[in-house]
Structure 1
Amino acid sequence: MNKSEFIQIRKFIVKLGKMLHKYGTPAFRLEAYLSEVAAFLGVRASFISTPTALTFVIWSDRHEDEYNHAARLLPGDLDMNALSLTDELASQLLAGEVSLEEADARLDEIDQMGSPYGKTVTCLAFGLSTGAFAMLMGASWPEILWSGLLGFIAYIWTLWAQYSRRVNLMLEPVTSFVAGFAACAISHYLDPGINIPLIVLSSVIILVPGLALTMGLAELSSRNMVSGTARVMDALMQLFKLYFGGFLGISAGFALFGANEYVPAQSLPFWATWLAVALLCLGLVAIFRTRAKHILWAMLSAFIAYGTATWSGLYMTAGLGAFAGAFALGVFANLFTRIANQPSTIVAMHGLIVLVPGSKTYIGLNSFVSGQDLVQSDHLGQEVFLIFMSLVAGLIFANVVMPTKKAL
């Protein structure tokens, strides 16, 4: 291998690694995938990935050339469209269908792509997802409507944060503060007796880091200690900021408009739960930027995960039900990888989002601080911890039963 070829290869690997990190790839998957690509391209390499940094060490077979590269990066956001296109490009490169120069140029094109759904559809998806989550939590029809409307406000702040670093730094607390204050105003002027804390939780559910907590625990279980610890602590800080903003917003609202007396509404019919899962997953399609050809797979993953967990919960505890749901989801996601030759993450994230107990973590934090329950639940802290560990264990067992063909 001559020096110019080595330079071209290591530039491609560095660019590929940074892009996959940007799309929210967990450390153990990113490191394994880059190792596979490096081995195919004829170089040896070692990688260290954390949520805020990425280190590359690349050398030729006989150490004629060596290269070290360390980059300070921001935590990545889930982008299933870009992840899918990047994986397809890497597969074409490994199959010899495109040259290294063409692949490098195509990576730049993918990196510049925006959401395939546009801002209007994504805004509607925020409102749909937040309303669907309220429905999943057993809210009344008016509470579902208010949650969806406040979800639009959450999207406005999220969109603003993409263009302003100052807004991005305070995104979680200011979004939940505005949601809490607006919910108090709605209760005072339009709809007395609504469950304000539940509406606030539903309106910011997209920002609640339950998925990040699960990914962090998965990284810890794979012995990626630095990355896992950093991701878990970052998720906890996001949770604290969300709760503080919501608590402050509700307190300010009560001080200005007066306290709200919650009046329980009539329970929704059973079919509403399944409708909520469908609507939530449909909204996540645009938020996660899932490609059109993967939408059906993503919807199926959510129904399989939730259906298995619900059915198992009839005969087991909530934690074991989550284990069964995660196991079924993992098998399905790995089966998707074998059939579609795409990363399992593309469909697994949609199923995980209906299983992860991020909302219960928020509820538990509220109960601990205020002594009030958003929804009735006993032994919440123990249940949350058990569900988290059951999800991780279920995915690990699924990889044993149905091994994935891709590191991603």
Structure 2
Amino acid sequence: MTEATVSFSTQSAVGFILRLGRALHMFGYASHRLEELLEQTASRLQLNGQFFSTPTSIYCGFGEMEHQQTYLIRVEPGNLNLGKIVDLDHVLAEVVNHRLTPEEGSAQIDSIVKAKPEYNKFITTLAYGLASVAASQFIGGGVKEMFIAAIIGLMIGLLSLIADLYTPLNKVFEPVAATVAAGIAGALSVWFGPYSVFNATLAGLILLMPGFTLTVALTELTTRNLVSGTSRLSGAMIVFFGIGFGVTLGTKLTLMMFGTPRIGASFPLPWWAAYLSLLLISIAFAILLRAHLRDSIWIMLVVVIAVTVSRTGSALLGPELGPFLGALTVGLTSKIYAQLLRRPSTVTQAPGILLLVPGSLGFQSIASLLDNQIVPGVGIAVRMILTAMALVAGILISNILLPVRRR
């Protein structure tokens, strides 16, 4: 369809924008980016639009102040779905460039929302185990810890499938999963120990740690999206405390049922194992974030570069600048990816940042506080916030150095 043949009504354009905003929110788009994108879309469709997004709702106003028409969309916080974000971005480009009418774009958005997941449940469950194995190696685990972490990861993957079918479990998923993880790690140590129960538990829970949510929240606060940032920050803190409670409960139940866990030191693998783990966790992230298969190689490339730069920077310049350099690298390489392939930078930026986020520090902080180690717990919490702010600074500066021009 050529540009000359396309005409549309104001109401159809409004309907397209409402559907687009709802879909992007469902698939994990950050509030500050969503507001900016919807404003640009309204402008391209010759509409006067104002938008306000929170983690659970979107407010949209169209028209002049005196005659404004306002819409409220109630949405649940969604998990990242990189594949569908790419598909939605393609539809958006077609509509704003007048190759599709808003009605046709709305129909395609509805089809994307209803489409089947990129990967089946079996592969998704395996990805949980794969991510936990790699995470265990990253935080200094040996063969035993990696084996136990794999079991925990698979169990949490199965639990997530149950939570998708049983809504009440979904409301308390993190505490229940943490209880299961701590119980498995402690109980299996009685027969397969000694090993680092803490390492296995943390690695098994790594995908539930809200470090990425914390980083997004601080980004929103930094960009003056105060309501969304505050709400998301509060949600991240609640998840941290829920996981801490679950681990405490699981540990106590293990002591009552199986006796004292056999805890020992871990024996880390050689240096080359870290790069193998990087490849494994890149594959796991691509699956769990539902990226298209064609984007997997780019995700792997950005993840390897980001972690290498972050670790090198930490070794040479200190632990504060390492995450900053890693995030800056992720941001710049993701912008290059977006410009070359005409896809959203989120596709590679989200997995790259996920490996740098301070989720493990948050868990250590909560664990210390629950163990009445107040001073160490507060100190670790401060490190967590500083690390997250370093990531935010890296991402925001990359936006300044290499801004992405929308199609």
Give the TM interval when normalised to the shorter protein. Answer: over 0.9
Q: Tell whether the 8 Å contact from 2:368 to 2:377 is kept in structure 1 after alignment.
A: no
Alpha-carbon distance, 1:335 to partner: 1.1
> CA-to-partner distance for each residue in 1:89-123, whole Å, 9 max, x for gaps?
10011222222221111111000123211111111
Cα root mean square deviation, aligned: 2.0
Q: Tell whether the 8 Å contact from 2:145 to 2:266 is kept in structure 1 after alignment.
A: no
> CA-to-partner distance for each residue in 1:220-252, whole Å, 9 max, x for gaps?
000000000000110110111111111100111
Q: Tell whether the 8 Å contact from 1:312 to 1:324 is kept in structure 2 after alignment.
A: yes
Equivalent position amino acid for 1:315 in 2: L
Asked whether 1:335 is paired with 2:339, we answer no
Alpha-carbon distance, 1:382 to partner: 3.4
Counterpart for residue 131 of structure 2: 129
In terms of mean alpha carbon deviation, does 76-85 or 92-101 score higher?
92-101
Q: Tell whether the 8 Å contact from 1:193 to 1:262 is kept in structure 2 after alignment.
A: yes
Q: Taking structure 1 as reference, are residues 337 and 381 closer, same or farther at Cα in structure 2, changes over 3 Å only?
A: same
Equivalent position amino acid for 2:12 in 1: Q
Alpha-carbon distance, 1:79 to partner: 0.3
Equivalent position amino acid for 2:46 in 1: G
Counterpart for residue 53 of structure 2: 49
Asked whether 1:310 is paired with 2:311, we answer yes
Alpha-carbon distance, 1:181 to partner: 1.3
Alpha-carbon distance, 1:369 to partner: 2.0
User: What SS is found at the alignment partner of 2:165?
Assistant: coil
Counterpart for residue 187 of structure 1: 189
User: What SS is found at the alignment partner of 1:278?
Assistant: helix
Counterpart for residue 382 of structure 1: 382
Q: How does 1:21-32 map to 2 (within 5 A)?
A: 21-32=25-36
Alpha-carbon distance, 1:198 to partner: 2.0
Q: How does 1:3-402 map to 2 (within 5 A)?
A: 5-59=9-63, 66-188=68-190, 190-370=191-371, 380-402=380-402
Alpha-carbon distance, 1:32 to partner: 0.6
In terms of mean alpha carbon deviation, does 44-53 or 249-258 score higher?
249-258
Distance in 2 (alpha carbons) for counterparts of 1:115 and 1:204: 23
The TM-score with structure 1 as length reference comes to 0.94
Q: Taking structure 1 as reference, are residues 371 and 317 closer, same or farther at Cα in structure 2, changes over 3 Å only?
A: farther
Q: Percent identity, please.
A: 28
User: What SS is found at the alignment partner of 2:247?
Assistant: helix
Equivalent position amino acid for 1:20 in 2: L
Equivalent position amino acid for 1:183 in 2: A
Q: Tell whether the 8 Å contact from 1:216 to 1:231 is kept in structure 2 after alignment.
A: yes
Alpha-carbon distance, 1:377 to partner: 11
In terms of mean alpha carbon deviation, does 210-219 or 376-385 score higher?
376-385
Equivalent position amino acid for 1:398 in 2: S
Q: Taking structure 1 as reference, are residues 379 and 68 closer, same or farther at Cα in structure 2, changes over 3 Å only?
A: closer
> CA-to-partner distance for each residue in 1:383-402, whole Å, 9 max, x for gaps?
22221111111111111111
Tell me the matched-pair count. 399
Which aligned segments of 4 or more residues in structure 1 are displaced greater than 6 angstroms?
62-65
Counterpart for residue 404 of structure 2: 404
Flag structure 1 segments of 5+ consecutive residues without an equivalent: none
In terms of mean alpha carbon deviation, does 287-296 or 195-204 score higher?
195-204
Q: Tell whether the 8 Å contact from 1:343 to 1:406 is kept in structure 2 after alignment.
A: no
Counterpart for residue 4 of structure 2: none
> CA-to-partner distance for each residue in 1:284-343, whole Å, 9 max, x for gaps?
111000111211111111111111111111211111111111111111111111111111
Equivalent position amino acid for 2:387 in 1: I
User: What SS is found at the alignment partner of 2:72?
Assistant: strand
Q: Tell whether the 8 Å contact from 1:337 to 1:405 is kept in structure 2 after alignment.
A: no
User: What SS is found at the alignment partner of 1:71?
Assistant: strand
Counterpart for residue 5 of structure 2: none
